């Protein structure tokens, strides 16, 4: 029979959220800060010593939706991200942080803390919490990803328009790009076909595609967009309707 000492700590971080249950895995197995037996945890920070590990700082808004596990059973050696819930602000960083050790919470070094102490630090942190992880990847790639902006951060979206001055939009991180463009009177849909035949922001028609220079904070476009935008043969294009603003950008209507 498994003793409590042999259990590996896991937790969905949904602390201080309106509803913990809303962010739990569909199986409903995990909740709050309970402890469950470890299955196949994969901490690359310890198992791949040759990996190029660098720090990644993120400001994430609760609920985070992170499933954490102790680095070492019943030892004060911190925690790592075992997996991410379907929802939660951490989800969009899945490629970077699953398997990554959590190193700081609100500037506090948690690398030698017990699981419970790390949980307490997260619970005590404000709704938008600064977290730092030790992530894997080439230094150059990771540095490019280091810059992230908290939701609501002011950024500039410069929109280049044929034959007209640039439209300079004071935008906010987290706002939908298509809606921001529409709200600022940019003609997202050009020509009768796009005006009448667009999907209204459902990621189907591709008529909202914009291309440009995506500055700091922008992650790679999604695989879904890769597929939908294949015909445009333009890796710098994105579907405005499927992108929330992640940082500054200089964009224009995508050539078709
Ligand atoms: S509005 Fe149709 S794909 Fe974006």
HEC-encoded secondary structure of 101-168: EEEEECCEECCCCCHHHHHHHHHHCCCEEEEEEEEECCHHHHHHHHCCCCCCCEEEEEEEECCEEEEE
pLDDT of the residue at 137:
62
pLDDT band per the 50, 70, 90 thresholds, residue 168: very high
Contact 94, 179 (CB under 8 A): no
Please tell me the distance between residue 206's alpha carbon and the centre of ligand 1 in angstroms: 5
Please tell me the distance between residue 223's alpha carbon and the centre of ligand 1 in angstroms: 16
* Higher local confidence (pLDDT), 75 or 24: 75
Residues 19 and 137 in one domain: yes
pLDDT band per the 50, 70, 90 thresholds, residue 216: confident
Residues 105 and 167 in one domain: no
Residues 74 and 124 in one domain: yes
Q: What is the mean pLDDT of residues 171-175?
A: 94
Which atom of ligand 1 lies closest to the CA of 198? 2
Please tell me the distance between residue 44's alpha carbon and the centre of ligand 1 in angstroms: 38
Look up the CATH number of the domain holding residue 214.
3.10.20.30
* Higher local confidence (pLDDT), 28 or 202: 202
pLDDT band per the 50, 70, 90 thresholds, residue 116: very high
pLDDT of the residue at 146:
57
Which atom of ligand 1 lies closest to the CA of 242? 4
Please tell me the distance between residue 230's alpha carbon and the centre of ligand 1 in angstroms: 15
- Asked whether residue 219 carries a pLDDT value surpassing 60, the answer given is yes
Q: What is the pLDDT of residues 190-207, one digit of tens each?
A: 999 999 999 999 999 999
Residue with CA at minimum distance from ligand 1 atom 1: 201
pLDDT band per the 50, 70, 90 thresholds, residue 114: very high
pLDDT of the residue at 96:
82
pLDDT of the residue at 204:
95
* DSSP assignment string, 28-70: ----TT-EE---S---HHHH-TTS-EEEEEEEEESP--EEEEE
Parallel, antiparallel or unpaired: strands 164-172 and 237-239: unpaired
Residues 120 and 206 in one domain: no
Please tell me the distance between residue 157's alpha carbon and the centre of ligand 1 in angstroms: 19
- Asked whether residue 32 carries a pLDDT value surpassing 50, the answer given is no
Residues 139 and 160 in one domain: no
pLDDT of the residue at 51:
56
Residues 179 and 68 in one domain: no
Alpha carbon of 40 to those of 10, 69, 209: distances in Å? 12, 11, 40
Q: Which two structure tokens, joined as six digits, stand for 20?
A: 């913990």
Q: What lines the ligand 1 site, CB under 6 Å? A: 198-199, 201-208, 239, 241
215-251 as b/e, with b when 16 or more CB fall inside 10 Å? Answer: bebbbebeeebeebbeeeeeeebbbbbbbebbbbbeb
- Asked whether residue 213 carries a pLDDT value surpassing 80, the answer given is yes
d(Cα 125, Cα 108) in Å, to the nearest integer? 10
Q: What is the mean pLDDT of residues 208-237?
A: 91
Contact 20, 32 (CB under 8 A): yes
d(Cα 57, Cα 131) in Å, to the nearest integer? 6
Q: Which of 127, 146, 165 is the last residue of a domain?
A: 146
pLDDT of the residue at 226:
93
pLDDT band per the 50, 70, 90 thresholds, residue 188: very high
Angle in degrees, CA 136, 144, 119, rounded to 5: 50
Q: What is the pLDDT of residues 85-96, one digit of tens each?
A: 888 888 888 888
Residues 11 and 127 in one domain: yes
Q: Which of 126, 146, 166 is the last residue of a domain?
A: 146
Residues 133 and 205 in one domain: no
d(Cα 183, Cα 161) in Å, to the nearest integer? 16
Which atom of ligand 1 lies closest to the CA of 199? 2
d(Cα 142, Cα 146) in Å, to the nearest integer? 6
Residues 192 and 244 in one domain: yes
Q: Which of 83, 111, 146 is the last residue of a domain?
A: 146
Structural domain boundaries enclosing 191: 154-253
Q: State the total domains in the chain.
A: 2
């Amino acid at each position: 029979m498994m003793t409590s000492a042999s259990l590996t700590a896991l937790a969905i971080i949904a602390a201080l959220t309106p509803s913990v249950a809303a962010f739990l895995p569909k199986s409903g197995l995990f909740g709050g800060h309970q402890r469950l037996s470890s299955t196949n945890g994969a901490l690359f920070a310890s198992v791949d010593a040759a990996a190029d590990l660098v720090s990644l700082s993120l400001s994430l808004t609760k609920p985070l939706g992170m499933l954490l596990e102790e680095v070492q059973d019943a030892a004060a050696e911190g925690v790592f991200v075992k997996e991410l819930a379907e929802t939660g602000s951490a989800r969009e960083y899945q490629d970077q942080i699953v398997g990554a050790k959590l190193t700081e919470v609100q500037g506090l070094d948690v690398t030698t803390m017990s699981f419970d102490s790390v949980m307490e630090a997260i619970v005590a942190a404000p709704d938008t919490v600064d977290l730092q992880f030790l992530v894997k990847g080439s230094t150059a790639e990771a540095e490019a990803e280091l810059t992230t902006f908290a939701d609501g951060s002011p950024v500039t979206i410069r929109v280049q328009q044929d034959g007209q001055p640039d439209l300079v939009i004071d935008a906010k991180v987290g706002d939908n790009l298509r809606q921001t463009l529409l709200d600022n009177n940019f003609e997202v849909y050009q020509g009768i076909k796009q005006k009448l035949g667009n999907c209204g922001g459902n990621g189907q028609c591709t008529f909202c595609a914009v291309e440009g220079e995506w500055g700091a904070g922008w992650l790679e476009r999604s695989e879904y967009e890769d597929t939908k935008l294949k015909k445009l043969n333009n890796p710098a294009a994105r579907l405005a309707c499927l992108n929330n603003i992640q940082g500054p950008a200089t964009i224009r209507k995508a050539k078709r």
